[in-house]
Amino acid sequence: MNELPNNPDHTPSTSLAVQKAPMRTGGLLQTLQRPLPLAVTVLAVLLAVQTVSSHSRINTLRRDMAQSLQKGNAVNAETAALAREVADTAKELQVKVGVLESRQSEAQTQQLALEQLYQDLSKNRDEWALSEVEQVLNTASQQLQLAGNVQGALIALQNADRSLGRSDKPQFLNIRRAIGADIERLKAMPAVDLAGVALRLDNVIAQVDTLPMLSDEKPLLPAAPVRSLRKKGAEPAPETLSLGQRMVQTWRNWSQEMWDDVRQLVRVRSVDTPEALMLSPTESFFVRENLKLRLLNARLALLSRNESTFRDDLASAQEILLKYFDTRARATQSAQGALRQVQANDLNIEMPTLSESLNAVRNYKAKG
């Protein structure tokens, strides 16, 4: 059934080849088994190096991760702090915004109120102007009647006329005409320089303490004897005089000196009021103060235009000067001259009223 090869020669060679094959395989295995431990060793070394390197890298990564985590925690803490600050700032801003909104609403309310007030004022501007003019005229009239302040009244009338002129309305022509008539009336009045008169009185009051009084006069010091010498025939020297001549000359000199002393001690003067010479320092002080008081009362009467009181106080001041003060002194004469100049002013001037201007304003307001 089975077919065998026909060639018997090929059978032995095949078996030989089969026998040689196991021998070659065993040698190859031996050859291959010889470098295996070296490779294993190299592989182990490589594995060890790889392991050490891996461990070092892992440790480095761990350190880096730890540092990164620390930095991350620090950044997180800073971020949280910033977040809290931002939250606080946001709250403050919200509060400020609320305050600003409330102020803005108040400003808007005030603006609306001001606009309404401006509208009311613009509607009643004429009434306000007339009320202001009336008040100014009333004040000027009072100053004119009480203090005689003509210049102040003129300034008030001119200001009222300018105020009405700014309105530029023909309805105010009658009022401005009346004011112009009062201005001309005041300008035509005689001018009384009350300020100048008051200044003269102030100067006299300031000089009262320096004016010489009769009780202040003191005897003069004895003068040195004046001995006249002859130009051609001079008196002979004492050595050339005899005893009798020297005694006569000594007596003559002594009697002359004694007469000079007696003449300085006794002085004769005619005084109408002898008691003025006997004033004590205290009484002299009160005399000066009484003179100042009279002059101050005269100054007040001048400013209030009280003619009778003004004249009486000046007359009393002149009497005090004549009675107690040295009228021969230049200072006293200067004070008396100043008081005479003050007395020459006439204060009895009838001041006009501003009734025409006031009636014009009131009539216009009554018609309106």
The stretch 138-149 carries a mean pLDDT of 76
Q: Which of 31-40, 59-68, 203-212, 282-291 has the lowest mean pLDDT?
A: 31-40
182, 353 in Cβ contact below 8 A? no
The stretch 70-99 carries a mean pLDDT of 87
The Cα 75–Cα 129 span in angstroms is: 74
Q: For residues 366 and 325, which has the higher predicted lDDT (pLDDT)?
A: 325
Confidence of residue 292 (pLDDT cuts 50, 70, 90): very high
The stretch 91-115 carries a mean pLDDT of 85
Asked whether the predicted pLDDT for residue 297 surpasses 90, the reply is yes
Q: What is the predicted pLDDT for the residue at 7?
A: 45
The stretch 319-332 carries a mean pLDDT of 89
Q: What is the predicted pLDDT for the residue at 231?
A: 41
Q: What is the predicted pLDDT for the residue at 319?
A: 92
Q: For residues 338 and 345, which has the higher predicted lDDT (pLDDT)?
A: 338
Q: Which whole-number Å values give the CA distances from 293 to 286, 296, 318, in the listed order? A: 10, 5, 13
The stretch 327-350 carries a mean pLDDT of 84
For 117-143, what is each residue's pLDDT tens digit? Answer: 766 665 567 677 777 888 888 888 877
Asked whether the predicted pLDDT for residue 25 surpasses 80, the reply is no
Q: What is the DSSP letter of 266?
A: -
Q: For residues 311 and 140, which has the higher predicted lDDT (pLDDT)?
A: 311
Q: What is the predicted pLDDT for the residue at 37?
A: 76
The proportion of the chain whose per-residue pLDDT surpasses 70, expressed as a percent, equals 73
Which three-class secondary structure string do you get for the chain?
CCCCCCCCCHHHHHHHHHHHHHHHHHHHHHHHHCCHHHHHHHHHHHHHHHHHHHHHHHHHHHHHHHHHHHHHHHHHHHHHHHHHHHHHHHHHHHHHHHHHHHHHHHHHHHHHHHHHHHHHHHHCHHHHHHHHHHHHHHHHHHHHHHCCCHHHHHHHHHHHHHHHHHHCCHHHHHHHHHHHHHHHHHHCCCCCCHHHHHHHHHHHHHHHHHCCEHHHCCCCCCCCCCCCCCCCCCCCCHHHCCHHHHHHHHHHHHHHHHHHHHHHHCCCCCCCCHHHHHCCHHHHHHHHHHHHHHHHHHHHHHHCCCHHHHHHHHHHHHHHHHHHECCCCHHHHHHHHHHHHHHCCCCCCCCCCCHHHHHHHHHHHHHC
Q: Which whole-number Å values give the CA distances from 2 to 5, 6, 295, in the listed order? A: 10, 12, 184
Q: What is the predicted pLDDT for the residue at 262?
A: 63
Q: What is the predicted pLDDT for the residue at 10?
A: 44
Q: Which of 2-11, 56-65, 113-122 has the lowest mean pLDDT?
A: 2-11
Paired with 325 in beta bridges are: 213
For 219-264, what is each residue's pLDDT tens digit? Answer: 444 444 444 434 444 444 555 667 778 888 888 888 887 776 666 5
Q: What is the predicted pLDDT for the residue at 105?
A: 84
